Amino acid sequence: MQRHFTLLTVLGFAAVSANVASLAAGTVPELAPVLRKELIGKLSVEKHVRKDTPPVFLAATMADKSVPVENSLHLYQALRDAGVPAEMHVYAQGSHGNSLDPQYGPTALWPQRCEEWLRFNGWLKKVN
């Protein structure tokens, strides 16, 4: 049985986690020394996932030096644990904010993968 959702989320190369490991790996490194533990929890999206969180599409690259792929991995695991419908695409190549460049091969096609996901789930009308 497919659930009806009025919201959904598409995140591409998003800094969604402020946990210590993600901060150490490069997500907003200048904040790492000043964030208190209680703020880290508040700023980490994966800490706020509930079973009624809208479906999520995630795209990330292992080569992103601005936002480590671990951000998306943590969020995806939290979504799975809560039973939230999610799809995740992790690509080997691509830089932050420039991954639509054809030089990155399949990474540049992530918007098409997202569109397919939206259509498959009935959130976008199918093209005839």
Please list the pLDDT of the chain residue by residue as tens digits (128 residues): 455 556 677 767 666 766 555 555 555 555 555 666 667 677 788 888 999 999 999 999 999 888 888 888 989 999 999 999 999 999 999 988 788 899 999 999 999 999 999 999 998 988 77
Enter the DSSP assignment of 37. Answer: H
* CATH class of the 9-120 domain in this structure: alpha beta
36 exposure class (CB count in 10 Å sphere: 0-12, 13-18, 19+): exposed
The model's pTM is: 0.78
End-to-end CA distance of the chain: 25
